[in-house]
Copies of this chain bind each other. A is one copy, B any other.
């Protein structure tokens, strides 16, 4: 898991305009009210009146509907009834009306009475929206830029299932990429020319079917609706294959319009195939300005906006009404300020006097022609403040790790017996190397232990020593837990300082010197010596 997290981080940070942040997991209620999670982060639950068992309503009806997560409570209830769905616990058919249940873990900040209502964060994304002003300052206000966060997310599931696939506490990794919607995004997608992506576009009216095409074509045909979304789909594909996912078991499914959040303009799930079938592992969504707008509305801050310089400053030359202070002041006394402000905001120059002017506090006053003059002003407007849009790739790391194990798992046979090899990528294997003395005697133990210790000094390398049982048994143990390289210290090592290197994936062996071994591992991999 640490290795997957680290690879993920490096994948995005190496783009140069992305920064990592870390925000608290305990989140005050006001934040999640603004984001909509307090009112809308719900699953429908159905309670059995007979045994009081509680189940997710959409799970109960999943045989009877293609997309049960999108159904309303009333629809769920009627499907339950129409299909005589019985309780998985007691087999009775006696359902109470389904109810929405908020899925956040609730807690209080402050150990004393009262305390402030809070929740464990349902996603890491809110941290990036709240710290947007700092992130923008970090990048000196130059869009586009992004922020990533890796950490725990919490979802108080009604009925967790499928092991690592659906947990109440899970590892997330999210990227929020902020863009100016008025600037057309250009990304060089030619790197992926000829790479076949499995896409299942929103069927609009027709059937939903898988199409194979490269990402540039999908964008050109407007199947993928935004260039930045296309770029993140391709980058995500690269990331997953670089850590060992099987490309043939990756596909992208576009959200249908009724499944997509109302503010999103394009949304794709990356699904991975494994023993549970196709499972959503990453969501890539164009969220518009929904999130920043929601926090702006809740807080009234102006710090969530970015500045857009116009190509050409706009010169404004216009006539405006201006209050004559020496008349307005005595005439309106305490109200004079409000009158002056209301006059300056008039869009149309009044031509008939007196006229009625509505103040900010709702009062109406009469203005006669002695109180105002018309003046000509010139202004240069160099730009404007706007809410950036955001494209969000959100990764469920536990699900991805589960699929790496699934894709890497190969049950084969050797000498008539079952033989397991776990083909973990070198980039994420917990142990890159095992060091094995052929026998634990005649000095081989010492050489092997010293070698282990020297290899452990190389940054980021996991190495263990295994001295017991036959060498074949020890190779098998290493293959089973996915160690890419097994180094054997034998009698020849005592004479000439060479060792054998065995490659897990094809069990081929070569002999090299310990110095060369160390050198190759320092520069990244033993793959090059084969």
Q: A120-B107, A453-B16, A462-B13 are in contact. Are A169 and B24 (CB under 8 A)?
A: yes
- The secondary-structure label for the interface of chain A is mixed
Asked whether A108 lies within 8 Å of B106 as measured between CB atoms, the reply is: yes
- Near B by CB (< 8 A), chain A positions 130-162 give 140, 151-152, 154, 156-158
Q: A24-B169, A26-B105, A26-B168 are in contact. Are A156 and B110 (CB under 8 A)?
A: yes
Residue of B nearest to A452 (CB): B16
Q: Does A261 contact B (CB under 8 A)?
A: no
Q: Does A494 contact B (CB under 8 A)?
A: no
Asked whether B459 lies within 8 Å of A10 as measured between CB atoms, the reply is: yes
Asked whether A16 lies within 8 Å of B110 as measured between CB atoms, the reply is: no
Asked whether B101 lies within 8 Å of A111 as measured between CB atoms, the reply is: yes
Chain A 83-113: CB-based contact to B (< 8 A → 1; otherwise 0): 0000000000000000001110111111110
CB distance from A232 to the nearest CB of B (A): 18
Q: Does A318 contact B (CB under 8 A)?
A: no
CA distance A453 to B17 in the complex (A): 11
Q: Which of B16, B168, B468 contacts A456 (CB 8 A)?
A: B16
Q: Does A326 contact B (CB under 8 A)?
A: no
Asked whether B107 lies within 8 Å of A111 as measured between CB atoms, the reply is: no
Asked whether B112 lies within 8 Å of A25 as measured between CB atoms, the reply is: no
Residue of B nearest to A42 (CB): B111
CA distance A106 to B101 in the complex (A): 19
Asked whether B107 lies within 8 Å of A158 as measured between CB atoms, the reply is: no
CB distance from A454 to the nearest CB of B (A): 11
CA distance A110 to B159 in the complex (A): 8
Residue of B nearest to A167 (CB): B24
Asked whether B169 lies within 8 Å of A25 as measured between CB atoms, the reply is: yes
Q: A25-B152, A169-B24 are in contact. Are A14 and B456 (CB under 8 A)?
A: yes
Asked whether A54 lies within 8 Å of B453 as measured between CB atoms, the reply is: no
CA distance A6 to B453 in the complex (A): 19
Q: Does A2 contact B (CB under 8 A)?
A: yes
Q: Does A381 contact B (CB under 8 A)?
A: no
CB distance from A302 to the nearest CB of B (A): 24
Asked whether A105 lies within 8 Å of B106 as measured between CB atoms, the reply is: no
Asked whether B109 lies within 8 Å of A156 as measured between CB atoms, the reply is: yes
Asked whether A169 lies within 8 Å of B10 as measured between CB atoms, the reply is: no
CA distance A452 to B157 in the complex (A): 45
In the complex, what residues of B have CB within 8 A of residue A523's CB? 522
Q: A101-B111, A109-B156, A111-B156 are in contact. Are A16 and B464 (CB under 8 A)?
A: yes
In the complex, what residues of B have CB within 8 A of residue A25's CB? 25, 152, 169
Q: Does A9 contact B (CB under 8 A)?
A: yes
CA distance A6 to B22 in the complex (A): 15
Q: Which of B24, B106, B120, B463 contacts A16 (CB 8 A)?
A: B463
Q: Does A364 contact B (CB under 8 A)?
A: no
Q: Does A45 contact B (CB under 8 A)?
A: yes
Q: Does A181 contact B (CB under 8 A)?
A: no
Q: Does A327 contact B (CB under 8 A)?
A: no
CB distance from A31 to the nearest CB of B (A): 14
Q: A14-B456, A456-B14 are in contact. Are A111 and B45 (CB under 8 A)?
A: yes
Q: Does A460 contact B (CB under 8 A)?
A: yes
Asked whether A112 lies within 8 Å of B45 as measured between CB atoms, the reply is: yes
Residue of B nearest to A102 (CB): B111
In the complex, what residues of B have CB within 8 A of residue A171's CB? 22
CA distance A110 to B155 in the complex (A): 9
In the complex, what residues of B have CB within 8 A of residue A462's CB? 13
- Near B by CB (< 8 A), chain A positions 159-185 give 168-169, 171
CA distance A103 to B465 in the complex (A): 43
In the complex, what residues of B have CB within 8 A of residue A110's CB? 156, 158
Residue of B nearest to A139 (CB): B464
Among A2, A14, A169, A468, chain B packs the most CB atoms within 10 A around the CB of A14
Residue of B nearest to A113 (CB): B54
The 8 nearest A-B residue pairs measured at CB: A111-B156, A14-B456, A54-B112, A107-B107, A101-B111, A105-B107, A24-B169, A111-B158
The residues of A with any CB-CB pair to B shorter than 8 Å are 1-2, 6, 9-10, 13-16, 20, 22, 24-26, 43, 45, 47, 54, 101-103, 105-112, 120, 140, 151-152, 154, 156-158, 168-169, 171, 452-453, 456-457, 459-460, 462-465, 468, 522-523
